Structure 1
Amino acid sequence: MSSRISFAPSHENPAASYHLIFLVTGNPGLISYYDTFLRTLHELLSEKKSETGVFHIFGQSLAGFEDNDTPSKTTGLPHSLEGQIESRLQCLEDQCIPSGPRQGQVYDSIILVGHSVGGYIILEMLQRLRKSSRCNVKGGILLFPTVTHIAKSPNGAKFSALFRIWGFPRGASLAAKALLWPVPDPALRWLVHVVVGMPQDATEVTMRFLRSRMGIWQALHLAKDEMETITEDKWDEDIWGIEHEDAGSVVDIPKLVFYFGENDHWVADHTRDALIASRGREEGKLSSKPIMLIDENGIDHGFCIRHSESESMAEKVKVWIDEIIHR
C-alpha cells in the first residue's frame, strides 16, 4: 500500500484547464482508507473531462502514520496538529502539473477536500495561503468536519478525560502494541474484519496501522492535540465570507461547502448548529459564506471505510466540485 494516491490523467491540449483536487485525511491519517472514495471521484470527474478540464486527484497520508515516517525533528515526539498543517501546506505547494504540454506549471485552480480534522487543517491552510500567489485555491469541501469544540462531542468528552492522565498517548500505545504483539496476523485480521465489522480492504489498512512502528502513538498524540487546539471559531471573513449586495466584491473568497453528519459522535449537535447559524449561508441571499448541509442519508463519520458510503460521498463531492469550478 502506498503513502499517497494520485490520479493524474494525461492530456495533450495545452489550452485545457487543469484542476487539482487535494485531499487531507482525518485521524488516523492513512490515505489508503480513501482509495474507493478517490477512485470513484476520479471516474466521475473523468466522464466530463472535455467540458470542465483536466482533474488531478491527489492525497497523501498525514505525517507519522507510515512505517518510513520519523518523529518530529523539533520535539522527537509524534507530529502535532500544527506540524500536520505545515506538512500539508508544503505538500500542496510542491504540486504541479505532472505531465503533458503544461508539465511543471501550476494548476489553474485547486479545490481542497478535508475529512474530519482534515476540515480544520483546510481552514488553517486557507488562512495561511491568503497571501500566496502560487496556490490558486478556488474552494474547499469539508466532510464531517471537526472545526470547533471537538472536546464537547460525545467521543471528544471521553478522550479528553483519558488525555488528562499524564503520558496517556505514549503509555496507551505501548500497552496496545504489547497486547497485539503475540496475536497472529490471521487472528487479528479476523477480529478487525468480523468483530469490528470492517470490509476486507479497510481491514488490511487497519492491520497495517496496528502493526506500524508509531501509528497508534501518532494517532493518540494528534488526537490529544486536537482536543486542546480545536476550540473556538477563530477565522475571519477572509475565510468565512460575507453577505453582500455586490457579488463582485466577494468573488475572490474561496467557496466552502460543509457536510455534517446527523448524529456524529465527533461533532456535538449544539456546536454544529451554532456554527451553521453564525457562519452558514442564508437561503436566498447573495453571499460568499459557506454552504452548510446536514446529512439525511445515514452516512457515518467514517464513511471512507465502506464502499457504498465512499461512492455516495464521491457523487456528492463531484457535484460540489462542478459548482465551484463553474461559479
Structure 2
Amino acid sequence: MPPNWDTASSSQISLCPKSNDGSASYHLVYMITGNPGLIGYYDTFLKTLHNRLSDSLHFPPKSNIFHVYGQSLAGFEDDTCSGPIPESPYSLEYQIQRSQKTLEGLRIESGPRKGEQFNSIFLIGHSVGSYILLEIIQRLKKSSSPLKIKSGILLFPTVTHIAQSPSGVKISTLFRIPDFPKRASIAAKGLVWLAPEGVLKWLVGLVARMPPEAAEVTTRFLKSRMGIWQALQLAKEEMDNITEDRWDEDIWGIEQEVAEVKDERPKLIFYFGDNDHWVANHTRDALIAARGQAGPGNESSKPIMLIDENGVDHGFASGIARALPRRSRSG
C-alpha cells in the first residue's frame, strides 16, 4: 500500500500503511538522529527503508504492518523548543529522556487496534543517536518496561571515545576556548542572517555538495533560533561523555546463552564506517574485539558488528545514501 505521511511539522516523520488489519502484527521502526539532529536529513533513507520492509519476503505486508517514525532532537528546529527559546541548549541527558518518553508514548495510530502497543520495536540510531539508543535500552530494562524492543541497529555508531576520532581531536581543541559553542554560534548567526534564504540555500548546496532537499534542511537549521549553538554544545558533551564503554552484559549479551534469555535481549547490529572520521579505527576495532560475536553461532547474544565496504560516508543522511548498503564485511 502507498504510505500515509503525517507531516504535522518539519521536525517529525511518520510513515505507515493506509490500510489496517486487526490480525496483523504491528511493528514500530523508531529512528534516532545524529548531530545535527534534524529528522529531515533522513527522509530518503526512511522512505527507502519503509518501501523495502513493505516489499520484503520475510515480512509479508498482509501479516506485518510497519510504522516508521522519527523526530528531530530538541533545539535544532524552532518547533522542537518547548515554549520560549531556552537560555541554554538542551543537554545530552535531556535528549535521551525526551527520545525515550516519545518512544514510550507511541501507539498504533488507526484501525481496529488503535491505541494498542506495537508487537515489536526496532530502534535505529545514527552516530550519537546510537549512544542514545543504548541508553534507552538500558533504562527500559531497568524500569521493567513492557515495550518489546526486538532489535537495535546502530549506524556509524559513536558509542566510545569519540574524542579520539580524527574529527574529535580537531573539535576538542576548539572546545578548550572558553564558552566556544555560544561564541561561535553568535558569529555564525551573524553571517547567516546577512544572506537571504534563497542565496543561503544555494551556497549550502554548492559548498557542502548537498542535494536540494538536504540543502533546504540545512538552511532551516542554520536559520533556526538556536540550532548552531545546540549542535556545538551537544558536540562538546559528546566529547566529554562518550568515553569508556559504560554498558554491561545486560546490554551486550554473552557468547553462549540459553535460548530463552537470548530471545529476550534486543539484537544489536553495528554498522561501522571504514575510516570514519568520527570513529577512530583503533577504538572501533577494540570494541569489536571486546563486544562483537566471535564468529557465526546460534548461541551468541552478542552484537553483530559489520564494517562498510561500499564507501558510505558517516554523513550518509545528508543525501549521500539513496538506498540501503548492499555489502559489508564482518568485524
- Fold similarity call, TM over 0.5: yes
5+ residue gaps, structure 1, are 318-327
Residue 85 of structure 1 is matched in structure 2 by 96
Structure 1's 256 and 316: CA in aligned 2 closer, same or farther, altered over 3 A? Answer: farther
2:212 is aligned to 200
2:31 paired residue number: 23
Is 1:275–2:283 an aligned residue pair?
no
Amino acid at match of 2:69: F
Secondary structure, aligned partner of 1:310: coil
C-alpha distance 316-111 of structure 1, shift in aligned 2 (>3 A): farther
Match of 1:64 in 2: 75
Question: Does the CA contact (< 8 Å) of 2:20 and 2:110 recur in 1?
Answer: no
Length-normalised TM-score, structure 1: 0.91
Equivalent position amino acid for 1:114 in 2: G
Q: Does 1:189 align with 2:197?
A: no
> Are residue 4 (structure 1) and residue 7 (structure 2) matched?
no
Aligned match of 1:117: 128
Among residues 282, 287, 293, which one is paired with 2:300 in the alignment?
287
Q: CA deviation at 1:245?
A: 5.4
Please tell me the residue identity of whatever aligns with 1:278.
A
Cα gap change, 1:270/1:72 in structure 2, threshold over 3 Å: closer, same or farther? farther
Q: What is the letter of the counterpart of residue 16 of structure 1?
A: A
Whichever residue aligns with residue 127 of structure 1, its letter is Q
Cα 1:3–1:316 shift into 2, 3 Å: farther
Give the structure 1 partner of residue 53 of structure 2. 45
Structure 1 residue 186: Cα displacement: 3.2
Q: Matched residues, percent identical?
A: 59
For the residue of structure 2 that corresponds to 1:312, the secondary structure is: coil
Question: How far off is 1:72 after superposition?
Answer: 10
Distance 1:106 1:196 in 2: 41
**CA separation of 1:185 and 1:72: change in aligned 2, threshold 3 A:** closer
Aligned 8 A contact 1:281 1:291 in 2: yes
1:311 Cα deviation after fit: 1.3
Q: CA deviation at 1:238?
A: 0.6
Return closer, same or farther for 1:284/1:68 CA change in 2, 3 Å cut-off: closer
Check if 1:102 corresponds to 2:113. yes
CA positional deviation for 1:51? 6.1
The letter for the 2-side match of 1:106 is: Q
- The aligned residue for residue 148 of structure 1 is 160
Amino acid paired to 1:7:
L
Partner in structure 2 of residue 321 of structure 1: none
1:247 pairs, out of 259, 272, 282, with: 259
Find the aligned partners of 1:12 and 1:174 in 2 and give their Cα distance.
49
Deviation at 1:70, TM superposition (A): 2.9
Q: Give the deviation of 1:120 after TM superposition.
A: 0.3
Which ranges of structure 2 fall in alignment gaps of 5 or more residues? 1-8
Segment of structure 1 superposing worse, 176-185 or 6-15? 6-15
* Structure 2: distance between partners of 1:103 and 1:63: 28
- Give the TM-score normalised by the residue count of structure 2: 0.90
Partner Cα distance (1:258, 1:228) in 2 = 23
In 2, distance between residues paired with 1:257 and 1:288? Answer: 11
SS of residue matched to 2:61? helix
Contact 1:18 1:107 in 2 (8 A): yes
Equivalent pairs, count:
314
The partner residue of 1:238 within 236, 250, 261 is 250
